[in-house]
Amino acid sequence: MGDTEPVSSAPLGTVKVDAARLSLTDADGLASWRHDDDPLDGLADLAFWGLSAGEAAAHFDAPLLGRPGEDGVHGWTDLDVDEADELAIDIEDWIAADPDRRLGLDFRPHSHHWQVMAQVRASEHEAGRIEVGGTWTLCFMTGWGDGLFPVYADRDAAGDLVRVRIVLGDE
């Protein structure tokens, strides 16, 4: 927020991280955010991976997704959301039928979350940004998993705010 060096820090509070990702969003943008329960176009992707992925791909005739950052991930893109939901249930039933089957399954409605996570998965630094409600939203993986992380306001010698800092991990 500024070019000067911070000389003091004051705690602002904590952020709660769930699913190992954190989004920084303007409040105006947040009002326009559409999450997984409200796809933007009525479509969804369905992805799976893991030790039983080859067997599942053969059983369900699922191609590799072929998207950046998703090597070895099978599934389908641009399905009607209800069709994707039914297919996900079929795959969950298939997994449950054999306790030795190991498969990660991700139902991905075409929401803002889906848009930014496609960038996160493809990014070397596990980060992405999208425009929502006329503002930018930044999403990134923490590298530390879930938890409560402290947030600080760092100020320069004149007392001006130069950055807001989130401490994701320390010694």
Mean pLDDT to the nearest integer, 142-166: 92
pLDDT of residue 149: 93
The closest alpha carbon to 40, from 118, 95, 127, 99, belongs to 118
The percent of residues above 70 in pLDDT, for the chain, comes to: 99
pLDDT of residue 169: 78
pLDDT of residue 28: 86
Mean pLDDT to the nearest integer, 19-44: 88
Mean pLDDT to the nearest integer, 98-115: 95
- pLDDT band at residue 63 using 50, 70 and 90 as cut-offs: very high
Provide Rg for the chain, Cα atoms. 20
The closest alpha carbon to 70, from 95, 43, 104, belongs to 104
DSSP assigned state of 18 = B
Supply the pTM of this predicted model: 0.81
DSSP codes, 70-110: -TT-EEEEEEEHHHHHHHHHHHHHHHHT-TT---EEEEEES
pLDDT score of 145 more than 90: no
The percent of residues above 90 in pLDDT, for the chain, comes to: 77
pLDDT of residue 171: 64
The closest alpha carbon to 143, from 121, 125, 163, 164, belongs to 125
Q: DSSP strand E in the chain: where?
A: 8-17, 21-25, 43-49, 74-80, 104-109, 127-132, 135-141, 147-155, 161-166
Report how far residue 1's alpha carbon sits from residue 162's, in angstroms, rounded to the nearest whole number.
5
Mean pLDDT to the nearest integer, 137-166: 92
